[in-house]
Amino acid sequence: MLGSGSSGNAILIECDDSRILIDCGFGTRTLAGRLETIDVAPESIDACFVTHEHTDHVKGAGAAAKKWGWAVYATRGTAKARDLAETRVHEIGAGETIELGRMTITTTATPHDANESVGFVVESRATGARTGLFYDIGHVSRAIADACQGLDMLVLESNHDDDMLRNGPYPKWLQMRIACPTGHLSNADSSAFARDAVTPGLQHLVLAHLSENCNTPEVALANMRGAVRRTAFTGTITAAKQDVVVGPFALGGRKAEAPIQYSLL
Ligand SMILES: [Zn+2]
Ligand SMILES: [Zn+2]
């Protein structure tokens, strides 16, 4: 996790010698700095998959693709983003599957106030390990729940605490937009879904896109820990932050190892 929140999102996924980025909501200089903390050269990334056109997900994608030769994959709606205006985008539809290196990337439509937003499930063809990435979702749709069955790792939005949103600094109209079924997923909804999605194979649960005004990592983590306490889950639970690089989340070991937080250079 190279950073997650309303000021920028980017997730690096590595499988054998292939690397992809899910979202690129940071400028190229910021992104290069974050990759440097984990010794990854930006040129070694093959492709960027963009979930939707909001700035915190797409801001640097076009510039990075041009600078470092990445392929960019997005839906037709997302491809209309201003940040992708000069980029040749490989269009992917919801439900479609792309094979890249030894990864299989499957796209699922997500309920969000964006133009054709999607989430992804990335599967290693070498080990069969599957990671689901769903954030900026107003609710967990049937399609998302289906896509999340039998995962080894789940990156799930845990955006806001309902009380903190209600009593927080946002005007009423913005509160309603965040809480609506095409807005952002609350801690309560996130933990309720995770509790049901937990299977013995789930090794890592990562809470993503936490609000800086209406949530804290402690509150989100406490919610999630409480929800999965009586389930079969024995993996790690991590809250991704806006300005912290955290990882790696290795899959396939006998016991899930806790990730490390890297201080930015
Ligand atoms: Zn966002
Ligand atoms: Zn969004």
CATH code of residue 32: 3.60.15.10
Q: Are residues 86 and 134 in the same domain?
A: no
Does this model's pTM top 0.75? My answer is yes
- Residue 119 makes CB contacts below 8 A (sequence gap 6+) with 51, 107, 108, 110, 132, 133, 134, 135, 137, 144, 147
Residue 253 in domain: no
Residue 99 in domain: no
| Residues having C-beta closer than 5 Å to ion ligand 2 | 54, 136
Closest ligand to residue 8's CA:
1
Residue 262 in domain: no
Q: What pLDDT is attached to residue 128?
A: 94
152-185 pLDDT, tens per residue?
A: 999 999 999 999 999 999 999 999 999 999 999 9
114-137 pLDDT, tens per residue?
A: 999 999 999 999 999 999 999 999
Domain that holds residue 8: 1-93
Q: Round to whole Å and give the CA distance between 120 and 132.
A: 6
Q: Round to whole Å and give the CA distance between 79 and 137.
A: 19
Is the per-residue pLDDT at 265 higher than 70? Answer: no
Q: How many domains does the chain have?
A: 2
Residue 251 in domain: no
Q: Are residues 81 and 142 in the same domain?
A: no
> If you measure from the C-alpha of residue 183 to the centroid of ligand 2, how many angstroms do you get, rounded to a whole number?
8
Q: Are residues 162 and 228 in the same domain?
A: yes
Q: Are residues 133 and 77 in the same domain?
A: no
Count of CB atoms situated within 10 Å of the CB of 244: 18
